Amino acid sequence: MSEAFAFLNDIVDYGPQILSGLINTLILAGTISVTGLLAGILIFRLTLSDNEIIRKSTARYISFFIGTPLIVLLFLMYYGLPQWGINFSPFTIAVIGFTLNIAAYNSRYLSAAYNGIDQHQLMAASAQGFSSRQIFTLIILPQTLRRAIPGLTNQVALNIKDSSIAFLIQYVDFFAQMQEQASLNFQYLKVYAVTGAVYLLLVSLVIFASKRLETRYAIPH
Amino acid sequence: MTFLEIVSILARGAGFTILVTLACILTGFFSGLLAALLFRLDIRPLNWLLHAFTYTFRGIPLLVILFLVFFGLPSIGLPIPPLVAMMLSLGLICGAYLSEVFRGALEAVDPNELMAAQSMGMRRIQILTAIEIPQMLRFSAPGMLNEFTTVLKYSPFAYTVGVPEILKEATSLALTTLRGMEIYLAVGVLYFLIYKIMMEMFLWVERRYAIPGFKQI
Amino acid sequence: MTLLQVRGLTKKHDDVGVLNGVDFSLCKGEIKIVMGPSGCGKTTLLRCLNRLQEPSSGEIIFDGEEITAAAVDIQQVRQRIGFVFQNFALYRHLSALDNVKLGLRKLRGLSDAEATQRAIYELSRVEMQDHQDKYPAHLSGGQQQRVAIARALVMDPAVLFFDEPTSALDPLMAREVANLLNRLHDEKVTILCVTHDVTLAKNLPGDVLFLNHGRVEAEAPISELMKNHANENVRAFFEQKAPSE
Ligand SMILES: Nc1ncnc2c1ncn2[C@@H]1O[C@H](COP(=O)(O)OP(=O)(O)OP(=O)(O)O)[C@@H](O)[C@H]1O
Ligand SMILES: [Mg+2]
């Protein structure tokens, strides 16, 4: 009993740091979710390009980022760039690395959704005289985004979880603070269990929001 | 030190990368299969447990589970070797995702064929091994490739618990040579190569067992 | 000699009677046709007979054995009843040959060589030996049907059940099925065949069991049933099926 109390006490004592860590986690996960979505849309747009060279290089980009671990990219920037005198903050590096990586996945979700939409509409739109740019923003994008909601929100949940690797490039997030806490009180099992529970809660919120979005923006058929 | 020399030093870690990846893939495959089959028994409390398993292992970051297993379990007298810690974290995470893939694929098996098998006098277990699992595995191929790729991409985190795989070699090399740029570029290339080889092997197996005209209906 | 004797068979789905006391018998070597309006319980009857669906009450005596008893090893019984489904239900991951072999290998424990030999013989009986390596997706409906028949025949069943064997086929193929059933009949195969198809029924030698609302309302050769029958449901049914005759 007193042991549990001491554990709680530790956490409360360390509360401000843990809270700032949690905020850092949310800032990073939130930022990369937005930038990853925007970059994903851009990459998806490029996969539809009329130019074969653009299409091919986009496919390579996607394949490369899906095939290589993100942590390698983060280390490359964190340990490699200073060699050339470039020093970015851990946050900047994390945002760049995650964005490049997430964009590849999001563009895949969008492509899958695009393959499911009725191609006749696109023909109808060009027959009506819309430019390909207009067709993309007015017809393709709204439909693929809606259809891709499950994949895209799943990616947000992944972003929250994956943001925890940023501590490896010294970004002081929630996980980093909890490790600090564990190394102080040696209660590894309890501290990591609490850490896991917090991530699970955050991910659950995203899943809940995703279900709401899905029903709200369902395309009637 | 040339780029090729860097690559050859890093390649020493590739064996461990492949070992970790394979061990976690096998753990994931069998735990996912077991979970999917146990779901079919449709026993209430068991379903609860299985849901809890998939939900937690899909909802908690790998590193948290890995550290919980590797640093947490010894504190209650359960020392876990690094490779086993990877299997219990990354392997079971893969299993949680795969169990969903497998469950979906099992539902895609045509119930008419199951009834035909039943009417032939086949027992439950025979129907499972002769009809359901062979079809389910084929339906699951794309999902399996996805999950296996994910395992490879998360395998570098094994370095955090001391497995001497590629990333571990890279960090020591980077410390001594201070040439992070080339080193991590080489690491990326190496992983991409392993990814390509793994994917080709998987696709080869898939083609080898492909059945003309066999599709999910 | 009676092979199958059914007495007072009922089947309820949530208190709604689908079969309401079916009685009939089937002799060795006989061919019997089950007809009746859609939803009258024909498929349910077939499935109750080998307990793919559990009957609610009644007796089914198959080859001298009461098979509704709980102690009966129903898998053993099913191995002696061949079942050809309306949609054929071939195992889509197995070639035609492997579809036919599966029962021999898994249920009879035959060696691969023996099973292959038997299966090829059975496929040639239905003239499918040239297609043995094809997969179901690449076979026409009629070809799938014949593989399904070979798959059932290969187990040496005491009786063969057919559920709507012609409904998924074009008229030409349907004619082939009638020929095939006749040939099997000549070879002394016992057959119970559910069908909507008056042409098929006319081309088969056995009596028709007319089922309505889960009861047998008439049992006679089709020619009699079609000739201004006393039962008004029978009249209505054939009137609608073949108004010109
Ligand atoms: N699982 C079930 N639950 C409730 N009712 C059912 C179920 N299965 C079948 N029925 C009902 O039982 C009746 C008989 O069905 P059955 O499939 O045996 O008819 P059928 O004579 O084969 O019809 P058809 O000629 O259309 O194939 C139908 O009214 C059907 O709606
Ligand atoms: Mg029917």
Q: Report how far residue C161's alpha carbon sits from residue C151's, in angstroms, rounded to the nearest whole number.
A: 12
Task: Give me the helix-helix angle, B92-107 and B3-41, nearest 10°.
Answer: 50
pLDDT the model gives residue C243: 61
Higher pLDDT, B175 or B208: B208
Q: Does B141 touch chain C (CB under 8 A)?
A: no
Higher pLDDT, A59 or C231: A59
pLDDT the model gives residue B175: 85
Q: Which residue, among C88, C149, C106, has the nearest Cα to C124 in the 3D structure?
A: C149
Three-class secondary structure of residue C66 per DSSP: strand
A42 to chain B, closest Cα gap in Å: 23
How many residue pairs from chains B and C have C-beta atoms closer than 8 A? 76
Which one of A66, A80, A188 has the shortest CB-CB distance to B72? A188
Q: Is C38 exposed, middle or buried (0-12, 13-18, 19+ CB in 10 A)?
A: exposed
Q: Which residue of B has its CA nearest to C46?
A: B119
- Per the CB < 8 Å rule, is B213 touching C135? yes
- Ramachandran region, residue B210 (left: φ > 0; alpha: ψ -120 to 50; beta: rest): beta
Q: Which residue, among A17, A22, A7, has the nearest Cα to A187 in the 3D structure?
A: A7
Question: Ligand 1 atom 22: the closest Cα is on which residue?
Answer: C43
| pLDDT (average), residues C143-147 | 93
Which one of C78, C79, C85 has the shortest CB-CB distance to B112? C85
Neighbouring C-beta atoms of residue A14, cutoff 10 Å:
17
Q: Which residue, among B72, B81, B64, has the nearest Cα to B162 in the 3D structure?
A: B81
Q: Report how far residue C217's alpha carbon sits from residue C9's, in angstroms, rounded to the nearest whole number.
A: 14
Two tokens at A218?
């369902």
C42 to chain B, closest Cα gap in Å: 16
Pocket of ligand 1 (CB under 6 A): C 13, 18, 38-44
- Per the CB < 8 Å rule, is A66 touching B149? yes
Q: Which amino acid is at B138?
A: R
Domain boundary assignment for chain B: 3-208
Which atom of ligand 1 is nearest the CA belonging to C86? 27
| pLDDT (average), residues B17-37 | 97
Mean pLDDT of all residues belonging to chain A: 90
For B46-77, how does the pLDDT look when each residue is reduced to its tens digit (9 = 90+)? Answer: 999 999 999 999 999 999 999 999 999 998 88
For A61-103, how does the pLDDT look when each residue is reduced to its tens digit (9 = 90+)? Answer: 999 999 899 999 999 999 999 888 899 999 999 999 999 999 9
Choose one of C20, C22, C44 to mutate for the ligand 1 pocket test, by most ligand atoms within 8 angstroms of C-beta: C44
Element (H, E) at A61: helix A52-67
Q: Which residue of B has its CA nearest to C48?
A: B119
pLDDT the model gives residue C242: 67
pTM of the model: 0.87
Q: Flag whether pLDDT at C192 surpasses 50.
A: yes
Lowest mean per-residue pLDDT among A118-122, A174-178, B32-36: A118-122
In terms of DSSP H, where are the helices of B120-217? 124-127, 133-154, 166-177, 180-208
Distance C146 CA to ligand 2 centre (A): 20
Tell me which chain A residues have a C-beta less than 8 angstroms from the C-beta of B187.
72, 75-76
Give the best residue of B17, B18, B57, B63 to mutate against chain A (max A CB count within 10 A). B63
Which atom of ligand 1 is nearest the CA belonging to C40? 21
In this prediction the ipTM stands at 0.89
- Ramachandran region, residue C169 (left: φ > 0; alpha: ψ -120 to 50; beta: rest): beta
Q: Flag whether pLDDT at A215 surpasses 70.
A: yes
pLDDT the model gives residue C100: 95
Choose one of C12, C14, C18 to mutate for the ligand 1 pocket test, by most ligand atoms within 8 angstroms of C-beta: C18
Distance C213 CA to ligand 1 centre (A): 10
Q: Does B36 touch chain C (CB under 8 A)?
A: no
Tell me which chain A residues have a C-beta less than 8 angstroms from the C-beta of B182.
80
Strand C2-13 with C16-27, pairing: antiparallel
Tell me which chain C residues have a C-beta less than 8 angstroms from the C-beta of B211.
92-93, 135, 137
Tell me which chain B residues have a C-beta less than 8 angstroms from the C-beta of C137.
211-215
Two tokens at A41?
């849309």
Neighbours of chain B (3+ CB pairs under 8 A): A, C
Tell me which chain C residues have a C-beta less than 8 angstroms from the C-beta of B119.
50, 52, 78, 81, 83, 85
pLDDT the model gives residue C245: 47
Q: Report how far residue B36's alpha carbon sits from residue B28's, in angstroms, rounded to the nearest whole number.
A: 12
In chain B, % of residues over pLDDT 70: 99
Return the CATH number of the domain spanning residue range B3-208.
1.10.3720.10
Q: Which residue of A has its CA nearest to B66?
A: A192
B111 to chain C, closest Cα gap in Å: 9
> For chain A, how long is the longest CA-to-CA vector?
76
How many residue pairs from chains A and B have C-beta atoms closer than 8 A? 124
Which one of C79, C87, C138 has the shortest CB-CB distance to B120? C79
CB-based contacts of B125: which residues, under 8 Å, 6+ apart? none
Q: Flag whether pLDDT at B213 surpasses 90.
A: no
Choose one of C11, C13, C56, C162 to mutate for the ligand 1 pocket test, by most ligand atoms within 8 angstroms of C-beta: C13
| pLDDT (average), residues B120-149 | 95
pLDDT the model gives residue C114: 96
CB-based contacts of B74: which residues, under 8 Å, 6+ apart? A188, B80
pLDDT band (50, 70, 90) for residue A1? low
Two tokens at C67?
């098979």
Per CATH, domain A2-216 is 2.40.10.10: no
Tell me which chain B residues have a C-beta less than 8 angstroms from the C-beta of C155.
120
pLDDT band (50, 70, 90) for residue B109? very high
Which one of B121, B123, B131 has the shortest CB-CB distance to C91? B131
Three-class secondary structure of residue C12 per DSSP: strand
Q: Which residue, among B109, B138, B149, has the nearest Cα to B207 in the 3D structure?
A: B138
CB-based contacts of C51: which residues, under 8 Å, 6+ apart? C67, C68, C74, C77, C78
Q: Report how far residue A104's alpha carbon sits from residue A70's, in angstroms, rounded to the nearest whole number.
A: 12
Tell me which chain C residues have a C-beta less than 8 angstroms from the C-beta of B212.
134-135, 137-138
Q: Does A66 touch chain B (CB under 8 A)?
A: yes
Q: Flag whether pLDDT at A13 surpasses 80.
A: no
pLDDT the model gives residue A67: 87
Q: In the structure, do chain A and chain C come into contact, i.e. share 3 or more CB pairs under 8 Å?
A: no
Distance B110 CA to ligand 1 centre (A): 19
